[in-house]
Each structure stands twice: as C-alpha cells, then as structure tokens.
C-alpha cells in the first residue's frame, strides 16, 4: 500500500514510462482511458521476463520451459480468479477481450438457451459489443430484443426494467459501468429482478473491472466479461467468468487443439472447463501480463483507485461549470471516471483536435454507443476518462484547453 487515503500520483506516474513524453511540445495529458489504459513498467517487465526466460507452448510439453509456461499461464488464471472473487478457478476463461467474451456466450450458450419467441433484455447504455452479438443471435433463432431506457440523468429506469421482464425473458445483458456516461448500474438489483422471471444475467464489466473492487459471487450474476487493456494489461487478452454449471452444459465455442480429450473420426470429447473454451494455443504471454497488471492495481487498491477517479471527476465538473457552453452528460453524482460533454455547438472532433494540439488525448465520437447517442439527441460527444495516474493538473490542462478551443473557434 502506498499511503492510506490519497494516491501518490507522482510515484504512480513514474511507473508508466509512456506518460513521461511530450506531445506537440506539451506534457502528455492522457484522458482516453476508457478506450485503453497505459501499462506500468511491472507489466512490461513481466512480458519481457516471460519471453526472455520461460516461453514455450502450454499444457503439452514435458520439458522445463513448457512446464514453466504452463505454471505462469495457470497462475495468471488463479490471479484473475482471486481478483474477481471467483471461488472456482475453472470458471475463468481467457479470451481476447470483452467483445469475444460476449460473442462466446451468445454463440455457445445463446444457441441452445434462447429460441423462437424468447426475449433478451438490453439497455440503451450498452456498448455495441453488448448489442450486435445479441442481434445476430436473435435473428438466427427468432428471438426478440428489448431495451431499457434511461432517465434524463443517464440512469437506468429500473421500474421500466421490471416491467419489461416477462416469463419469456431468457437473458438480461447489461453493462456494469457505462463507457458513454459513467453511470454505475445497480447490478445486484438487476440480478434480483431477473431471477424473479428465471432469466440469466450477463454483465459487461469492461469499464468496471479496471475501476471498482469486484466480487462476482456477491453480484450473483451468471456471466461477467472484461478486457485486459483497459486495466493496465496487454491488448488481446480478456476474461469471461461464468458459473461452472453453465460452462459444463454449454457446447464449445471453437474446436481445435488444447480443448479436447479424445478425438474420433466423427466425434470428440472435450476437456473440463475452462480448457473446453480455449481452443488452440492461447495468448500465454498476455495472460501473464494481465496477472502482473492485476497485482499492480491490487497493490494500490481498487477502492482507492475508484475514489481517486471519483474525486477527479467531481473536480472536473466543478472547474468546467464556468466554461461557456460546457454541458456534461450523465449522472451528477455517484458515477465512474468517465466525463462525456458538449461544448456549445462545436463538433467534438474539432474540440478533440484543438486539445490534441496541446498534448491532451480525449475521445470524440459515438464511443460505440450509437443508440445511447441517439437517445441523448447528439451524434457524438467529447469524452475525457480518468485513471489512477491522472491528477488535478490534467483536469486543469483540460479546462484550460477547452477555453482555448472556444477562443480558437470564436
């Protein structure tokens, strides 16, 4: 632990080599963490160490390097299991990221659990990766999609959610934290409501796992998905957690090596989960890198990271309130470190462009949230998203930058 209450952001920043650079002659202000975060040296070193010392294929060799690689890969799975509060390490499936995790569930579970006339309940806060896989499935099997609306603050209309649940609802698929608005959804309440009609619950944790302490057992959901690259880990690695009984009954997602027990000419038997869902040579090194990222974040404390981001957003909202034309989207309080906004009638791409000239990285666009943007009545927003290495200087730079944007276009 580094300190008791406040994060030592200066020390944390020194752990991230990429932050020590200038962009266009200015200190880099990286506020695009919801899209992808940066990596601390501990992760870079873990990747290097693995490749320099331990690499071989896993689960098949008797030789020393293969057993080291297998230990490192399976050890990473144990680290993930502890991090998310999974009682059973066999419930942790390594995938490419949140998108692949959701597609895996839509394909392997959805194709037998959802049939004609069944309903899948989504929300207007969903990222495209928690919409499109369900559209594909619904079209294939003749199921129907329904969407829960949000209120004017960007919170789910829970009374509507209750009303949309029917005995035909097989699945509620909901984001834990909105990447567009920062809204933190009441997952526990949603699970309780879904259970009343016997529906399963998938939680898209892409924006939650990096920022909040997580306990999948306490959430009591059925599937939980997240990506390594948003939590200081490598790209190309992510996690699907699912209840063991579901992983037992589902068919494999892909077929190939590593996932079989016995292969006959016309049929095969499969390994037990999680290996049943990991066909082919897995992304060994990046699983090891993800475990290093988890160790790094855990050492600092997810509760403290979340509190720090919360404080930064509150500070940003307070400072930006006096900027002419600034209007934030999303809840005023109790939100995660995502700040979507508009600046008068300036186009978000123009805003982001001028900020970039000052070394400030924000995102402008629909953030893979087109239905949400339509609901907000805009085509795009500018979005600043915070992480553990951001500080008040970054917020000040953003606010000064926004004033410079206004001047530039006036």
How many other C-beta atoms are found inside a 10 Å radius of the C-beta of residue 53? 11
Q: Which stretch binds ligand 7TS (CB under 6 A): 188-196, 203-211, 299-307, 345-353?
A: 203-211
The terminus-to-terminus CA distance of the chain in angstroms comes to: 48
Between 110 and 182, CB nearer to ligand 7TS? 182
Asked if residues 77 and 92 have their Cβ atoms less than 8 Å apart, the reply is: yes
- 276 lines the binding site for ligand 7TS (CB under 6 A): no
Binding residue for ligand 7TS, selected from 175, 185, 283, 390, defined by CB under 6 A: 175
Q: Which stretch binds ligand 7TS (CB under 6 A): 202-210, 276-284, 342-350, 353-361?
A: 202-210
Between 36 and 66, CB nearer to ligand 7TS? 36
Binding residue for ligand 7TS, selected from 9, 23, 28, 35, defined by CB under 6 A: 35
Asked if residues 216 and 241 have their Cβ atoms less than 8 Å apart, the reply is: yes
Q: Where are the beta strands (DSSP E) in 44-175?
A: 92-95, 119-123, 144-148, 169-175
Task: Tell the smallest beta-carbon distance from residue 336 to ligand 7TS (Å).
Answer: 11
Identify residues 51-90 at the interface with ligand 7TS (CB under 6 A).
none
Q: Which stretch binds ligand 7TS (CB under 6 A): 91-99, 153-161, 213-221, 328-336?
A: 91-99
Binding residue for ligand 7TS, selected from 227, 340, 381, 382, defined by CB under 6 A: 227
Between 33 and 70, CB nearer to ligand 7TS? 33
| Rounded distance between C-alpha atoms, residue 220 and residue 75, angstroms | 25
- 207 lines the binding site for ligand 7TS (CB under 6 A): yes
Binding residue for ligand 7TS, selected from 179, 185, 382, 390, defined by CB under 6 A: 179
Binding mask 98-117 for ligand 7TS (x = CB under 6 A): xx------------------
Between 202 and 368, CB nearer to ligand 7TS? 368
Task: Tell the smallest beta-carbon distance from residue 98 to ligand 7TS (Å).
Answer: 4
Between 129 and 390, CB nearer to ligand 7TS? 129
Active site residue 221: no
Tokens matching residue 16: 């991230």
Give the closest residue to 168 by CA, choosing from 114, 113, 121, 119.
Answer: 119
Give the closest residue to 209 by CA, choosing from 27, 390, 336, 385.
Answer: 336
Report the DSSP pairing between strands 200-204 and 169-175. parallel
- 127 lines the binding site for ligand 7TS (CB under 6 A): yes
| 110-137 core/surface letters (b: 16 or more CB in 10 A; e: else) | beebbeeebbbbbbbbbbebbbbbbeeb
| Helical segments of 57-131, H only | 64-84, 98-104, 110-113
Binding residue for ligand 7TS, selected from 34, 69, 201, 302, defined by CB under 6 A: 34
| 159-194 core/surface letters (b: 16 or more CB in 10 A; e: else) | ebbeebbeebbbbbbbbbbbbbbbbbbbbeebbebb
Provide the 8-state DSSP code for 391: -
Binding mask 363-382 for ligand 7TS (x = CB under 6 A): ----xx--------------
| Rounded distance between C-alpha atoms, residue 379 and residue 258, angstroms | 45
Distant-in-sequence, close-in-space partners of 271: CB < 8 Å, separation ≥ 6 = 258, 259, 260, 261
Catalytic residue positions, numbered: 368
Interacting residues toward ligand 7TS by CB under 6 A: 34-35, 97-99, 127, 129-130, 175, 179, 204, 206-207, 227, 367-368
């Amino acid at each position: 632990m580094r300190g008791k209450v406040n994060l030592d952001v200066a020390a944390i920043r020194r752990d991230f080599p990429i932050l020590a650079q200038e962009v266009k002659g200015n200190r880099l202000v990286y506020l695009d963490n919801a899209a992808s975060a940066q990596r601390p040296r501990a992760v870079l070193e873990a990747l290097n160490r693995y490749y320099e010392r331990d690499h071989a294929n896993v689960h098949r060799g008797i030789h020393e390097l293969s057993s080291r690689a297998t230990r490192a890969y399976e050890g990473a799975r144990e680290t993930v299991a502890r991090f998310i509060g999974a009682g059973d390490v066999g419930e942790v499936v390594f995938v490419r990221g949140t998108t692949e995790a959701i597609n895996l569930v839509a394909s392997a579970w959805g194709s037998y659990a959802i049939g004609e006339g069944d309903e899948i309940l989504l929300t207007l806060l969903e990222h495209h990766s928690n919409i499109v896989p369900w559209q594909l499935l619904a079209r294939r099997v003749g199921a129907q999609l329904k969407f829960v609306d949000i209120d004017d603050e960007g919170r789910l209309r829970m009374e509507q959610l209750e009303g949309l649940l029917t005995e035909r609802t097989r699945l509620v698929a909901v984001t834990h934290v909105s990447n567009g608005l920062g809204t933190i959804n009441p997952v526990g309440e949603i699970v309780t409501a879904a259970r009343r009609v016997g529906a399963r619950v998938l939680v898209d944790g892409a924006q939650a796992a990096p920022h909040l302490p997580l306990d999948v057992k306490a959430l009591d959901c059925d599937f939980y998905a997240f990506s390594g690259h948003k939590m200081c880990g490598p790209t190309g690695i992510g996690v699907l957690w699912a209840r063991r009984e579901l992983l037992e009954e589902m068919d494999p997602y892909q077929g190939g090596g590593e996932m079989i027990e016995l292969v006959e000419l016309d049929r095969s038997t499969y390994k037990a989960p999680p290996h049943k869902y990991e066909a082919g040579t897995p992304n060994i090194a990046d699983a090891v890198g993800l475990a290093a990222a988890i160790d790094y974040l855990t050492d600092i404390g997810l509760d403290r990271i979340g509190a720090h981001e919360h404080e930064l957003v509150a500070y940003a909202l307070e400072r930006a309130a006096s900027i002419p034309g600034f209007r934030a989207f999303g809840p005023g309080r109790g939100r995660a470190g995502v700040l979507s906004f508009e600046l008068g009638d300036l186009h978000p791409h123009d805003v982001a462009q001028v900020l970039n000239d000052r070394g400030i990285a924000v995102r402008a666009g629909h953030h893979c949230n087109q239905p949400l943007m339509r609901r907000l009545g805009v085509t795009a927003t500018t979005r600043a998203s915070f992480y553990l290495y951001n500080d008040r200087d970054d917020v000040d730079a953003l606010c000064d930058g926004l004033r410079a944007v206004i001047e530039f276009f006036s």
